[in-house]
Structure formats: structure tokens, C-alpha cells
Amino acid sequence: MARLFLITGCLALLMIGSFADKEYEAHGHGHDHHHHAHDGHDHHDLESHKKLFDAKIQDGQEQDEKLRIIANKIDTDRDGKVSHDEMRVYVEQRVKALNDREADDLISTLDPKNTNKITFDAYSREYFGDIERSQFSNPDKLNLNLRENKRLYLADKAKWEFVDTDGDLALTYDEFRTFLQPEENEGLAKIEVDSMIHEYDDDKDGKISNAEYKIMTEAEAGQADSLTSEIDTNNDGFGDFDEFSVYYLPSIEKTVNEETDHLMKECDTNKDGYCTPGEITSVYSTFAGSQITDFGADLEKPKEEL
């Protein structure tokens, strides 16, 4: 009997851990791999995320209570259930708070003396390390890692200059916050997407073929992926400027709407248009893998801090 309980517990751990990984990787974490960590919202590594689900196995009641506290915070009218509008308001608050926190963290790293100025040199050292800039003049397109670093560096420099109003290559904190969110600025978004197409559109037809996309994804992530209908929405076999803009640089509004719809779909198990705290805790992994809980970080806090 003890052995049976042990096997059952191990299977449960594997099932929840596997589901958690898929939730973490598949929903809302995959569109930003063309940017640095500041654009990718890199809150926690996957290992720490797995530990959270280990805690769920070890003390499920405690974790459920924490998520129930959060559910009650979302339910602002205190009617015992969460509406779509309440969920959306809370998701938007959390997304913006996370963005602000990450910007603050970067600012304190790049400008420790609080001068209200961040130089491009300080920024590029932080994100490109000791890469010799002279290598970027190398026309060798077979060196995919160098090719992608060159693209990122030149795109970042162009975006930096775009928001640098006085031309001194140093950004104020407000300018730097603008720089960090190209999806919210048409000019910055155009620079970012143009840089992708310009670098990997080898036949210069103004769009990215499946073969070119495989090279692009291998350069950025070390693994060649094919174009899918999620990007190629008109199914013409290419990724164009508009399709790349929608996929790689979704606006905060679009991100919030998609996350809200996803959470409501998962937790509204009786399809009445609302989610009760009980329904929310029943899909723990969905919420633990969402921005609404800072990808589970909120569930690691003591209950009195929630």
C-alpha cells in the first residue's frame, strides 16, 4: 500500500510538473525571443518554476489558499465570483506593474548613481558583453550567432537614437522606458521588425520565406523552426512586415486581452461567464504559469504579503 501511494505521488508530480512546463513555455512566453531579457519579461527560470509545483504537491492546501486570496483580490465587487472585466483589470495592473518593476531594476543596474541618464555604452556592455564591435562588419552570414548579435546591436542602437531627443546617446529614465517597450511605439516597432526582415530576407523580396525563417530562428535560438499559420496568417508561405509586427511585438492591450481570455476560458468550468475562487484554484497550474501571479512568484510569498 505504501508503495502504491509513493508511485501515485510520483506520477502526480510528474503530471503536474509536465503540465506546468508546457503552460510556462507555451502560453505567453514564446513571442519575445527576438529581444533581450528586458523585452522578454524573464521573471524566473524554469527550474524555479518547477520548484513552485513541487511545493504544490507537498503542501497543496497552502498553495490553494494563496491563490484563493489572489482570487478574492480580483473580485472587487465581492460577489464571490470573478467577471471577465474584473479579471482583465487585474491582469492589466499586474502586466504594467511587472514592466515597471523590470524597468526600475534595469535603471538601477545601468545608472547606479541615479543621474537620470543611461548611456548606450553602459547598456551595450550589459547586453552584449565583451563582443568586439568590429566583428559586426564581418559579412560572413554563415556565422549565425554573430549575425544575430549584429542585428540586435544595430537595431538597439537605431531604437536608442530614435528616442534620444538631444542626440547625446544617453537616455533619460522616461526615454529608456520608451526604449524598453517598442511594441507601444510605432517608430520603434518599425525599426525592430525592419531589422529582422532586412537581415534575413536573403532574396530581398521584402518578406521572409520558410527557408529564411528557419535560418532566422536558428540564429536567434539555435533551433530552426518553420513558419506556422500563427505567424503566416494569410497562408501565403511568407512572413511579412504586418504579420511579424503582430506576432513579435503584440501591444500591451493585446497581451492583456489574450491573457484574460485564456484565464477565463480555463477557470470558467461551468461556462456561466464567471470564475469562482474554487474554479480558479482547480486550475492552479494555469494561474501559476501566468503574468497574473508574476509567473508563480506571488504564490511563493507569505500569505500576509498577498
Could you read off the pLDDT of 31-44 as tens digits, one per residue? 443 444 444 334 34
From CA 109, how far away is CA 3, in angstroms rounded?
A: 51
Residue count of the chain: 306
The pLDDT score that the predictor gives to residue 252 is 95
**Is residue 48 a part of any domain in this protein?**
no
Could you read off the pLDDT of 185-212 as tens digits, one per residue? 999 999 999 999 999 999 999 999 999 9
Q: Which residues touch 104 (CB under 8 Å, ≥6 apart)?
A: none
Residues of the chain above pLDDT 90, percent: 72
Average pLDDT over residues 76-103: 96
| C-beta atoms surrounding 107 within 10 Å | 18
- pTM score over 0.95: no
Average pLDDT over residues 133-144: 79
Residues spanned by the domain of 223: 60-301
**Is residue 142 a part of any domain in this protein?**
yes
DSSP letter (8 states) at residue 255: H
The pLDDT score that the predictor gives to residue 31 is 42
**Is residue 29 a part of any domain in this protein?**
no
**Is residue 249 a part of any domain in this protein?**
yes
Lowest-pLDDT choice from 57-61, 81-85, 92-96, 270-274: 57-61
**Is residue 234 a part of any domain in this protein?**
yes
Structural domains counted in the chain: 1
More confident residue, 50 or 277: 277
Label residue 59 by pLDDT band (50, 70, 90).
low
**Is residue 28 a part of any domain in this protein?**
no
Averaged confidence pLDDT in the chain: 84
